[in-house]
Chains A and B, each alone.
Chain A
Amino acid sequence: MTASILTVDDSASIRLTTRVALSNAGYQITEAVDGLDGIAKLNAGQFDLVVTDLNMPNMDGLTMIRELRKLPAHMGVPVIFLTTESDNDLKQQAKAAGATGWLTKPFDPESLVKIVKKVLGR
């Protein structure tokens, strides 16, 4: 069964990069443009993994992770967030909010696939 992944990012180019990389790796991709959209998409479906940016309009990544963990149906869903090297403080906050792992920007498609595989397991 193909794992289904939700990518949440306000940047279209990042959404495209992640879509291409993860589709090529055989995953089913759904996209959301911000946190609110992300929660809406989550409620409309079932996902094995969420990849999200942190800085987004309407609802930021941190809030979305916190909201998501409150939804019983998505409680244990792994969440990978995208962050930058410099922002260690934000990383700690995201972890505290219930994120599973992270990927440092800028990233190449291979390392994204590697992280996704690591979190999803075999």
Chain B
Amino acid sequence: MSFPDPIAVFRTEAAELLEQVEAGLLDLNVNLGDKDQIDAVFRGLHTLKGSGAMFGFEALAAFTHHCETAFDRVRKGEVPATQALVTAVLGAKDHMRALVETPAGDHEATSEALLATLRNAVEGSGSGSGATSSAASGPAQILYKIHFGLPQNSMANGTNPLPLLDELRDLGECRIVADRSAIPSLDVLFPTDLHISWDVELLTTQPRSAIDDVFIFVMDDMELEITTVEAPAPVAAAPVKSAPAGAAVEAAPAPAVTQQQAVAPAAAPAPAVPTEAKQNKASENVRVPAEKLDELMDRVGELVIAQSRLSQLAGGSGDLQLRAVSEDVERLSGELRDTMMVLRMVPVAHLFSRFRRLVHDLAHETGKTIELVTEGESTEVDKSVIERLADPLVHLVRNSCDHGLETPEERIAAGKPAAGRIFLSARQQAGEVIITIKDDGRGINKERVRAKAESSGLIAANASLSEQELYQLIFQPGFSTASQVTNLSGRGVGMDVVKRTIDALRGTINVASHTGTGSEISLAIPLTLAIIDGLLVRVGAGRYVLPLSAVEECLELSIEDDMRSRGRSFISLRDSLVPFIRLRDLFRTGTKPDPFQKVVVISTGSERVGLVVDQIIGDHQTVIKAMSKLHHDVATFSGATILGDGDVALILDVGHLVAEGQQQEAHLRAAG
């Protein structure tokens, strides 16, 4: 196995750190005095700077250094945390991302502009104390790269290497990586012998002799290399010159960080461990590229198909031993599939967290006060579903912020609290995850939706529409009721994209709204896109799969019942009429119906419809294969699967069929 590319590892780590920083900043924005968040932001910036320097992202390290310094001062109570500072560092954070992604790009102008904003934010907080000493006047910081190894018997002779590391830390900011490569195997390891050597990056204003002093007792016998690297903050000089009064950001001298040491990244180029036993939790995880997981999923899919072929063969033969093996394989592949599913599940917390930033920015742009309340972050959804949900959710949250929520004045006038709230929640329900975006704004203006739909020819004037149908119109392309187009939304693009994406995920959208109290949009998405439990049925000569999660019950449809219904296509199911669709007719099989047809009742939440099939074959583990682009607009089917005997079965789109059934019902009702 090869080592992963350290730069790629750093990028992943940096992205996580930046997210942490952002989360901390946003929390801080809510509660400016939150000491934990101040520390968290500082730590994030500190680690980012340290790792950045280590992996050659010099510009990033230099830039981050200023933000870190600013937060160090906040941490030490020298300057207060302010909204301006949080906003400035949020902006800087985005720039750091750019520095991580394109370190070679030309970022100087942006860096300087952001640092100027940062300086103003720190200055603006009214602290003049730090401005007296500037980085330019203090002793210059030097970055030392130190490599040292102690004599093998030094521990036996009473030299403890840890105090030496502590002494180095006392000199300045340290990044310490232990090199364990020389540790022999256990059978020849003598416990008091020392085999570890260390690489230390020390950023300090102290002279070289101070480092020598650390090693004074072991100097003669040890292995010690000290090299000096250039001062790591070359950018500092320019802003200081152009804005002498604004030097406060640079003012704090090298923060002697002692309590939280730079922990080596989980996969440094050499097998390295943090010098202290502070193994963080993350190191117990294995990072796997997403496409490898997809590949594994494909293999599991193929295995499931092969297994169902085996089951069929074994079932058809009288060989008991073969059957036993086949049953074992079936059980194992089922378990494997379940494990695979769990591997692909990720909590929506990650998805939700990005909305905090979005809402923060939106509040800023619209001048509204908006609070984001999230719920059910631990709900887990298939990775690929999460990825595809991101864009639609952004549109919906934007819409709520922009159209849904009123301005603070309007809200106060309406007797509501000035701060608008957006609720983002996720929960699991059967085989689906329900994601709800709710606001306590003005609600959807039904008259305006209708007027707009009529004027743009989407519906006929005076057409009778249910509330739900009316709301669904907002997902039509080109539909926008906003009287003013803002920077954020109102261009009429977006909602139709939402609809299309959710359709592609085999999900449904439900809209509820109350004038004056807010609106609620729920997205119901299948938990996974890859494998489902299906019910295999036969219609004519063809076989089809229904998602088992949508199946409510199966009934027999006697010829008499069928005759009696006379095309009215309703069955009475425990005192309620359920419309049914004859799939034989729908698919125009041209075959004669079986004498005892079956009705499979499927539902999406509250709506039900019966599907008349010729035979119910049974459960089927269905590996979903997408249909080709050619069949993209076939609405009745959502995909296809390969059966045990190699035949293809189409997967019925439940949402579409239920809608069809309801339409049929409405039609018949209207006809009397």
- Interface set of A (CB-CB < 8 Å, partner B): 69, 75-79, 95, 98-102, 118-122
Evaluate whether A100 and B157 lie within 8 angstroms (CB atoms) in the complex, with A75-B192, A76-B192, A95-B221 already known.
yes
Confirm or deny: B361 has a beta carbon within 8 angstroms of a beta carbon on chain A.
no
Closest to A79 in B: B158
A78/B158 in contact, CB under 8 A: yes
B163/A100 in contact, CB under 8 A: no
- Of B153, B162, B163, B217, the most chain A CB neighbours within 10 A belong to B217
Closest to B220 in A: A95
Residues of A within 8 Å of B276, CB to CB, are none
Confirm or deny: B136 has a beta carbon within 8 angstroms of a beta carbon on chain A.
no
B159/A78 in contact, CB under 8 A: yes
Residues of A within 8 Å of B167, CB to CB, are 118
Evaluate whether A120 and B192 lie within 8 angstroms (CB atoms) in the complex, with A98-B157, A99-B157 already known.
no
Bound Cα distance from A75 to B192, whole angstroms = 9
A118/B163 in contact, CB under 8 A: yes
List 27 interface pairs A-B (beta carbons < 8 Å), by A numbering.
A69-B156, A69-B157, A75-B156, A75-B192, A76-B155, A76-B156, A76-B158, A76-B160, A76-B192, A78-B158, A78-B160, A95-B220, A95-B221, A98-B156, A98-B157, A99-B157, A99-B158, A100-B159, A100-B217, A101-B216, A118-B167, A119-B158, A119-B159, A119-B160, A119-B217, A120-B163, A121-B160
Residues of A within 8 Å of B220, CB to CB, are 95
B221/A121 in contact, CB under 8 A: no
Bound Cα distance from A102 to B156, whole angstroms = 16
Chain B at the A interface: mostly helix, strand, loop or mixed? Answer: loop
- In addition to A75-B192, A98-B158, A101-B217, 11 A-B residue pairs with Cβ atoms within 8 Å of each other are A69-B157, A76-B156, A76-B160, A98-B157, A100-B158, A101-B159, A101-B216, A102-B217, A119-B158, A119-B163, A121-B166
Residues of B within 8 Å of A120, CB to CB, are 163
Bound Cα distance from A119 to B221, whole angstroms = 17
Residues of B within 8 Å of A76, CB to CB, are 155-158, 160, 192
| Proximity string of chain B (470-510) to chain A, C-beta cutoff 8 Å, 1 when within and 0 when not | 00000000000000000000000000000000000000000
- Nearest Cβ on chain A to B17's Cβ, whole angstroms: 28
- Nearest Cβ on chain B to A94's Cβ, whole angstroms: 10
B156/A122 in contact, CB under 8 A: no
Closest to A50 in B: B158
Residues of A within 8 Å of B162, CB to CB, are 121
- Of A77, A120, A121, the most chain B CB neighbours within 10 A belong to A121
Residues of B within 8 Å of A77, CB to CB, are 158
Residues of A within 8 Å of B153, CB to CB, are 98
Bound Cα distance from A101 to B160, whole angstroms = 11
- Nearest Cβ on chain A to B283's Cβ, whole angstroms: 25
Residues of B within 8 Å of A99, CB to CB, are 157-158
- Nearest Cβ on chain A to B592's Cβ, whole angstroms: 90
Bound Cα distance from A98 to B160, whole angstroms = 13
Bound Cα distance from A76 to B155, whole angstroms = 6
Bound Cα distance from A101 to B156, whole angstroms = 13
